[in-house]
């Protein structure tokens, strides 16, 4: 009687890709790639899906300062009569200029609410090692 022992080992490499999908105002795409190598005594494969809902509320307050400078020009004409021996009348013009500067602050608040649901799908695959005896 002759006894032969054969050992068979099979190694499988699984590349795991996890994609996050968001539905929100600003779209962010994240891709994670992981490499798993498992050697197991039995074959076991399953897919796991996780769904989590997150709500993020961001409040932004902006304060704007406005400076306004206004320059006014006023032109007036004056009539003046001189009563003298000549009885003359003369006219002169005066210009008045003044500047008014005022400052005010404007405040407004932005509230941004983001609701996104990341979907994680992971598939794990394990290899199996076969050992059998042939007689």
Q: What is the pLDDT along the chain (135 residues), one digit of tens a residue?
A: 566 656 555 555 554 444 444 444 443 444 445 444 444 444 444 545 555 556 666 666 666 666 666 666 665 555 555 555 555 555 565 666 666 666 667 676 666 666 666 665 565 555 455 555 555
pLDDT at 25: 42
pLDDT at 105: 72
Q: Contact, 55 vs 115, CB < 8 A? A: yes
What distance in Å separates the CA atoms of residue 16 and residue 31, rounded to the nearest whole number? 10
Helix or strand (DSSP H, E) at 12:
strand 12-20
What distance in Å separates the CA atoms of residue 22 and residue 114, rounded to the nearest whole number? 10
- Biggest alpha carbon–alpha carbon distance for the chain: 159
pTM for the structure as a whole:
0.21
Q: Contact, 120 vs 20, CB < 8 A? A: yes
Q: Tokens for 124?
A: 């794990």
Tell me how many helices (H) and strands (E) the chain has: 0, 8
Annotate 63-78 with DSSP letters as a single string.
Answer: EEEEEEEEEEEEEEEE
Helix or strand (DSSP H, E) at 11:
none
What distance in Å separates the CA atoms of residue 128 and residue 42, rounded to the nearest whole number? 5
């Amino acid at each position: 009687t002759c006894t032969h022992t054969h050992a068979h080992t099979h190694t499988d490499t699984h590349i795991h890709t996890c994609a996050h999908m968001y539905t929100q105002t600003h779209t962010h795409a994240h891709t994670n790639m992981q490499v798993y190598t498992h050697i197991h005594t039995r074959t076991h494969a399953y897919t796991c899906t996780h769904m989590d809902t997150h709500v993020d509320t961001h409040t932004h307050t902006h304060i704007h300062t406005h400076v306004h400078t206004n320059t006014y020009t006023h032109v007036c004409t004056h009539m003046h009569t001189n009563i003298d021996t000549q009885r003359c009348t003369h006219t002169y013009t005066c210009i008045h200029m003044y500047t008014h500067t005022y400052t005010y602050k404007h405040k407004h608040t932005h509230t941004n609410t983001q609701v996104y649901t990341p979907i994680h799908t992971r598939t794990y695959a394990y290899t199996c090692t076969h050992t059998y005896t042939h007689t």
